[in-house]
Amino acid sequence: MTITQLQYVLAVAEHQNFTLAAQKSFVTQPTLSMQIQKLEDELEIQIFDRSKKPIQLTEIGKKIVEQARNIVNESGRMQDIVDQQKGFIGGEFKLGIIPTIMPTLLPMFLKTFIKKYPKVNLKIEELTTETIIKRLNEGHLDAAIAATPLGYEQIKERVLYYEPFVGYITENHRLYHKKELETSDLDIDDILLLEDGHCFRDGVINLCKTPRAITDDHFQLESGSFETLIKLSNEDLGMTLLPYLHTLDIKESERKYLRHFAEPRPAREVSLLFHKSELKMQIIEALRGVIMGIVRGAIAFHNVEIISPVQS
């Protein structure tokens, strides 16, 4: 049994197709077929059920894949150990970010990060939370930034900051004349929300359970942009909640519609996610350090109470 064979198995398990898996592994299809057969012969089991199309894992195959992933991960960590010892922070690093965090957070830390760690070859992708989890489990992402808590067994979460929501309320709304909002003011049917996991923290109001928040009788919204929400809100279709950082670049003419909350402020928890195998942990820690530093900076220059990073 070789590590290479295990990598081939993982590739086939993932793509459910020998030819494609071979391409992704940068070998020809016969190479991959033969190596997998060799492994199957050695273990005296069938890993894949080739009669089904697309190819399926056998029962035992699923366990083999799980263990193979484990071994391949642990092998990958060998280089991590060396890097860590050398104090080397570098190499390819794939980071996923959800759409509602990407435009506000990324510009804040990217420049600082690539300047501080020039040897890291950062590859950033905008992905949904669902895709992020899948990619992290498959090892195609090294880390991700998303709204939490998610509570996946295989994924670790490190809170970066809590981002309060700010109400966006136009003239004709019943709450327009309130100076400060209370969580008790909120009527769930009256708020325009995005689909991804916004959690009002500490269980004040937990909106996690509404995967597609906007399911009014009249319309459904699947856009991922707060711009859309603002526009809809301007059309008097309801109030909306914007994460604080998004409110920083709202047009001057619309700022008058912003209403902050009184304590306890509803907020979304934004965390750095990574696989529990903790591969490339030095880079993850470096990234976390940079972002947390930036967040502390943001507090200094803006409203101290707006962004509250986790104590540590």
User: Is 276 within 8 Å of 154 (Cβ atoms)?
Assistant: yes
Residue 292 CA to residue 298 CA, distance in Å, equals 10
Residue type, 303: N
Closer to DNA by Cβ: residue 13 or 270: 13
Is 232 one of the binding residues for a second copy (CB under 8 A)?
no
Q: Which two tokens stand for residue 4?
A: 């290479």
60-82 as b/e, with b when 16 or more CB fall inside 10 Å? ebeebbeebbeebeeeebeebee
From the list DNA, a second copy, none, which binds 37 (C-beta under 5 to 8 Å, kind-based)? DNA
Is 55 one of the binding residues for DNA (CB under 7 A)?
yes
Is 304 one of the binding residues for a second copy (CB under 8 A)?
no
Q: Where are the alpha helices (DSSP H) in 93-235?
A: 102-116, 129-138, 226-234
CB of 42 to DNA, least distance (A): 10
Is 37 one of the binding residues for DNA (CB under 7 A)?
yes
Per-residue contact track with a second copy, 1 to 20, x per CB under 8 A? xxx-----------------
Is 79 one of the binding residues for a second copy (CB under 8 A)?
yes
Select from 78, 172, 179, 249 the one that contacts a second copy (CB under 8 A): 78
- The candidate with the shortest Cα–Cα distance to 210, out of 226, 221, 225, 194, is 194
Residue 269 CA to residue 113 CA, distance in Å, equals 22
Residue 45 CA to residue 41 CA, distance in Å, equals 7
CB of 276 to a second copy, least distance (A): 15
Residue 203 CA to residue 208 CA, distance in Å, equals 10
Select from 20, 27, 71, 102 the one that contacts a second copy (CB under 8 A): 71
Is 18 one of the binding residues for DNA (CB under 7 A)?
yes
Which residues in this chain contact DNA in the complex, by CB under 7 A? Answer: 2, 4-5, 16-20, 26-31, 33-38, 50-55
Which residues in this chain contact a second copy in the complex, by CB under 8 A? Answer: 1-3, 43-45, 59-60, 63-64, 67-68, 70-71, 74-75, 77-79, 81-82, 85-86
